[in-house]
Amino acid sequence: MSTTRQWIPDGMDREVASAARAYDCLLGGTHHFAADRKLAEQVLSVLPANIMARQNRDYLQRVVRFLIDCGVRQFIDLGSGLPVMGNVHEVAQQLDPECRVIYVDNEPATVAHSGLILSGAAGTAMVEADVRDMNAVLGADATRRLIDFSQPVGLLMLGVTQFLSDEDDPWAIISGYRDALPSGSHLALSCFTWDNDPETMQNTIDMFREAGRSPIVPRTSAEVMRLIGDFELLEPGLVFTPQWRPDSTSGDSDERSNLYAGVARKA
């Protein structure tokens, strides 16, 4: 755990695991407690989640750099988790300090931690909202203050859609965001999939259910393409996370990836 207490709100119950802090643990970060490490170990018992987490974070960083090259200077990160470990604002503002970032999460512990982590970070804010409630996300005071909806937006949904059931209609959710964003905006997705290793995915589903955690919903390539919908999918298309515009640090662990990745543009 981090030696600093500046990110821990008063009264935080450290015995209750947080998905965001467990993800930080899988990334090798310091913003987690013993209960979070236990949750991370449960996931690792059925899934190479530490490898997947690193691949997903590397993909996020490549996406942000790519979108900066495309002229995007403002980002909305849905289901963001903790804004640490080389997250969106750190990458974007290193390239252009004027970039603005809205992080969105509905886990109260994550929101509380993030408010402290982002304290003093210009051009950033955490919005407490459910990604399914587009009006709450886009209509939040912080969103309206930081995001100019006359200019392109980078909408990030990395590792989010597996927590949306078919009954939630994630296709309609993404379509709603698309309609609300201006031309030149981009959607970046990473999604759990059955296609690479269905046995591992089934074991993961079973583990989440037996642990009483929120169910996960991996999807096929066709279902992910349907999520992208009317956005224009950019090269290299829908691929596994290490395959999306790899750089010298991307590695070649495609066989360990159970996440599809794709970036698409609104014409």
- The model's pLDDT over 11-37, given as tens digits with 9 standing for 90+, comes to 777 888 888 888 889 888 888 889 889
> CA angle 117-120-122, nearest 5°?
110
Give me the residue label for tokens 């604002």: 89
> What percent of the chain is helix, strand and coil (3-state, nearest 5)?
40, 15, 45
Residues of the chain with pLDDT under 50: 1-4
**What pLDDT is recorded for position 14?**
82
Nearest to 129 by CA among 111, 154, 117: 111
Residue with tokens 């005071």: 141
Dump pLDDT digits (tens) for 180-229.
999 999 999 999 999 988 999 999 999 888 877 788 999 999 999 999 99
**What pLDDT is stored for residue 154 in this prediction?**
98
For residue 73 the two structure tokens come to 């200077």
**HSE-CB for 225 with a 13 A CA cutoff:** 6
For position 3, what pLDDT does the model report? Answer: 40
Contact yes or no for 45/73 (Cβ under 8 A): no
The pLDDT value recorded for residue 7 is: 85
Helix 49-69, helix 88-95: angle, nearest 10: 30
Q: Which domains does the chain have, with CATH numbers?
A: 19-265 (3.40.50.150)
For tokens 């512990």, what's the residue? 109
